Amino acid sequence: MLAAPANTKSHPPHRLLFAPLLIAAIAFIFRLALLFFLRQRLTGPSMPYVNETTDIAASIAAGHGFASPFPLAHTGATAWVCPLFPYLIAGIFRVWGTFTQSSLLAIQILDSMFASLTVFPIYAAAKRTFGSAAALFSTWIWVFLPFAWWTPIQDIWDTSLTAFLLAVIFWATLAIRHRRDLFSWLAYGAIWAAGALVNAAVLSLLPFFFAWLLWQRRDSFSLARPFAALVLFLFLLLPWTIRNHHALGKWIPLRSNFGVELWLGNNPGAGDPNSFALHPLWNASEAAEFQRVGEINYTAAKQHAALVYIRAHPGETARAIAARVWSNWFAVTDRVNAQWSTAPAYVKALFLANFFMISFAALGLIVVSREIGAEALPYWIAVLIFPLPYYLTHTLVRYRFPIEPIVTILAAYGLLQLWSWATGRAPQTPDRSAVLKSTR
């Protein structure tokens, strides 16, 4: 049977062929092969890879500290992005040179490694909820999923690392709720801190995941361990928060740029969900204003302007949010105004592939909710809550990528269900006892 129940002991033939370690190795080799095949086309001699993260990394590598996120202006200390990934890139710049092609290749290989390592939490989370068949199917989809190999090559951002860490957090949330040992809960808090210090967006899920965990434990035992996890999480964020207060004169837990991101999507000149032309990364006058008034005053002014615009234009704001919802789930290029009739064939193919992925994921989410009820809430939380900040601000294709591993799991389960129904076989049913099992 293709879709075996989650509690069966059966395994596919040649177990080594399907081991997650081997699948992750194949994923990495596949990405490296594509990288070297596409490198000449994607990374010609003049290809820049300057953005806020790499510009801060260049400042660190030059000995000027965590500063100056924009190439158009040297603005001093910043909290524009979270710290871990820029420091990681700064290490690469120190070894292979700042903004060299060798450094670019090293970053792409590193991002490809993060995308390949995501096989492990995908497998673990899918197996815990749906069983071995869905777990293996999910990982193989991830190996060849276009966005899962294109993103590490194209996006010189924390995107692939964020997806890996969020997938680990998701699996850990499913696995830890009945654990009694303090070490596991402290590790859970540390994983959340690592994710937050890479990309603050993951924190949109933290209160909901913790609320679900506390509700799951309401009839069991002490809340001391979850509380210890939260305390360690806050303790690990504290040094960066103190640094931000010392450098910028304001208590900024992680990053300072929300007001600007809100303004980019909510202003009279916002003609699309991205507003690239207004960003101080590209706009010389905005960069000059940023430099003149300072980061804190600039972001505060932009947030005020955005809120004034939202209150004065509720209809336009609602339409923009609707456009961003569509863009988050169905756009496959950041050229949001591109016409279907003139789109290249590969863009149309990506759109269709993404459409079917979302459709299968929606089917999987509906079916698993009917089968295990509240046990499926973490899946709902991930797909409903994580995109909310981007609906309010602005969207890019890569913004959805951190939850792509969870979407992949749901799509694999939905496709297996559809296959079972089409072939008349017994559908795969999550085993509640397996979902609820404890490791004490």
Is the pLDDT reported for residue 242 higher than 90? yes
Is 409 a domain residue?
no
**Quick one: pLDDT at residue 8?**
40
Is 129 a domain residue?
no
Is the pLDDT reported for residue 204 higher than 90? yes
pTM for the full predicted model:
0.91
Domain boundary among 70, 99, 128: 99
Choose among 66, 111, 64, 113: nearest CA to 86. 66
Contacts of residue 231, defined as CB under 8 A and 6 or more positions apart, other chains included, come to 189
Is 183 a domain residue?
yes
Residue 73's SS3 state is: strand
In contact, 357 and 401? CB cutoff 8 Å: no
Start-end of H helices in 159-252: 159-176, 182-198, 206-216, 224-248
Domain boundary among 73, 99, 125: 99
Q: 7: pLDDT confidence band, cut at 50, 70 and 90?
A: very low
In contact, 184 and 226? CB cutoff 8 Å: no
Q: How many domains does the chain have?
A: 2
pLDDT tens, residue by residue, 262-302: 999 999 877 655 567 889 998 999 999 999 999 999 999 99
Is 23 a domain residue?
no
**Quick one: pLDDT at residue 428?**
62
Is the pLDDT reported for residue 362 higher than 50? yes
Residue 41's SS3 state is: helix
Q: Compute the average pLDDT of residues 225-239.
A: 96
**What is the C-alpha to C-alpha distance for residues 345 and 95, in angstroms, rounded to an integer?**
40
In contact, 80 and 295? CB cutoff 8 Å: yes
* Proportion of the chain in helix, strand, coil states, percent, rounded to 5: 70, 0, 30
Give the residue with greater pLDDT, 359 vs 433.
359
Tokens found for residue 422:
């089409």
Q: Compute the average pLDDT of residues 373-380.
A: 92
Is the pLDDT reported for residue 6 higher than 60? no
* Angle, CA 218 vertex, CA 217 and CA 222 arms, to 5°: 70
Is 93 a domain residue?
yes
Tokens found for residue 426:
């017994």
**Quick one: pLDDT at residue 274?**
59
Domain boundary among 40, 68, 99: 99
Choose among 239, 274, 251, 255: nearest CA to 69. 255
Residue 9's SS3 state is: coil
Is the pLDDT reported for residue 339 higher than 90? no
- Of 110-124, 191-205, 258-272, 282-296, the one with minimum mean pLDDT is 258-272
Q: Which amino acid would we find at residue 325?
A: V
Q: Which amino acid would we find at residue 181?
A: D
Q: Compute the average pLDDT of residues 235-241.
A: 97
Distances (CA, A) of 299 to 267, 277, 289, 407: 14, 17, 11, 33
pLDDT tens, residue by residue, 418-428: 998 888 775 56
Tokens found for residue 330:
């169905």
Q: Compute the average pLDDT of residues 319-331.
A: 92
**Quick one: pLDDT at residue 229?**
96
Distances (CA, A) of 160 to 157, 332, 333, 385: 8, 17, 17, 19
Is the pLDDT reported for residue 15 higher than 60? no
**Percentage of the chain modeled with pLDDT above 70:** 86
pLDDT mean across residues, the chain: 88
**What is the C-alpha to C-alpha distance for residues 123 and 430, in angstroms, rounded to an integer?**
15
pLDDT tens, residue by residue, 128-164: 999 988 999 999 999 999 999 999 998 899 999 999 9
Is 77 a domain residue?
yes
Contacts of residue 107, defined as CB under 8 A and 6 or more positions apart, other chains included, come to 49, 89, 92, 156
Is the pLDDT reported for residue 440 higher than 70? no
Choose among 115, 234, 129, 236: nearest CA to 165. 115
- Of 228-237, 322-331, 339-348, 429-438, the one with minimum mean pLDDT is 429-438
Residue 275's SS3 state is: coil
**Quick one: pLDDT at residue 38?**
84
**Quick one: pLDDT at residue 202?**
97
Q: Compute the average pLDDT of residues 196-200.
A: 98
> How many CA atoms within 13 Å lie on the side-chain side of 212?
21
**Quick one: pLDDT at residue 220?**
63
**Quick one: pLDDT at residue 206?**
97
Is 197 a domain residue?
yes
Residue 70's SS3 state is: strand
- Of 207-211, 255-259, 319-323, 335-339, the one with minimum mean pLDDT is 335-339
**What is the C-alpha to C-alpha distance for residues 262 and 273, in angstroms, rounded to an integer?**
11
9-21 CB burial, b ≥16 within 10 A, e <16: eeeeeeeeebebe
In contact, 6 and 131? CB cutoff 8 Å: yes
Is 280 a domain residue?
no
Give the residue with greater pLDDT, 198 vs 101.
198
Q: Compute the average pLDDT of residues 22-27.
A: 96
Q: Compute the average pLDDT of residues 19-39.
A: 93
Is the pLDDT reported for residue 331 higher than 70? yes
**Quick one: pLDDT at residue 405?**
98
Residue 144's SS3 state is: helix
Domain extent at residue 92 = 51-99
